[in-house]
Amino acid sequence: MPAALQTRALAKRYGPIEALRGVELEVGEGELVGLLGPNGAGKSTLVKIAVGLVRASGGETTVCGAPAGSRVARASLGYLAELFRFPGWYSADEVLRLHQRLAGSHGGEAERAELLGLVGLLDARDRTVDAMSKGMQQRLGIAQALVGSPRLLLLDEPTSALDPAGRRTVRRLLEELRARGVAVLLNSHLLSEVELVCDRVVILSGGSVVAAGTPDELSRARGVEIETATGLREFPDATREDAPRIVAELVAAGERIYEVRVRRTTLEETYLRAVGEEAT
């Protein structure tokens, strides 16, 4: 089965500016991949190329095996733009009905009710977009992206307007989608969110992939801390595997051990190191 999203040597140039420089990226079936990077790194451009809003200058992009932008590719994906708006006089239910018809979905009222329930808007199904808060509109946008049960979901900053409760709703939704086998490319500035839910993380900087891997792979050992009766003992060069030996040596030396912590870099530290100069 082809990857849900695959880019090969993807390049995009806006006049003299190189927005993407040979990006290689793959999102497997049912995989949840986080796309990170500073402003201007090329994240939104990459997503827009995948959904057919922007034409690539070079390279290749496929969605479920079909060329990005083709009718087949567009029928396979759901998309939430960073900046989007629905007509203000449409109710939540009408927005979804419109997109069902455009997507050729036969899910009917049952699908609309399910999607509104997933994003916590079932009680607001008859409320017009104009009468919704920004956060509610964003959740409606996510529901719209899920119309027609797409195999690939591309979310560009889906939680930027959400409060903590709304973010948790979206996190649960992403986990639910993963369980259903939907592939997700999540473009977000919120590293903690990406770290919590994503199977893999890709960091873009200056139009190139500067780091990629699972959150575990991207974080590295930063020593072991042991709290003893005589105070905190630090072993900065030790790894997780060294911890039992160190504890045994301390106990043998008569120390009382209260807590052992294996320290690792956070995704934020890895990110800042990867994007380096631009972040500073």
**4 is a site residue for other proteins (CB under 8 A):** no
Q: Which stretch binds other proteins (CB under 8 A): 27-35, 80-88, 224-232, 246-254?
A: 80-88
Structural Rg of the chain based on CA atoms:
22
Q: Is residue 120 part of the contact set for other proteins (CB under 8 A)?
A: no
Selected binder of other proteins within 27, 77, 182, 202 (CB under 8 A): 77
Q: Tell me: does residue 89 bind other proteins (CB under 8 A).
A: yes
**Binding window for other proteins (CB under 8 A); candidates: 70-78, 183-191, 192-200, 228-236:** 70-78
**Residue 62 interacts with other proteins (CB under 8 A): yes or no:** no
Query: Segment near other proteins (CB under 8 A), from 93-101, 116-124, 158-166, 263-271?
Result: 93-101
196 lies in the site for other proteins, by CB under 8 A: no
Shortest Cβ distance from residue 174 to other proteins (Å)?
Answer: 20
221 binds other proteins (CB under 8 A): no
- Report CA torsion sign: 256, 258, 260, 263: negative
106 touching other proteins, by CB under 8 A = no
Specify the residue, 55 or 245, whose C-beta has the smaller distance to other proteins: 55
Give me the 137-176 binding string for other proteins, x by CB under 8 A, dash otherwise: ----x--x--------------------------------
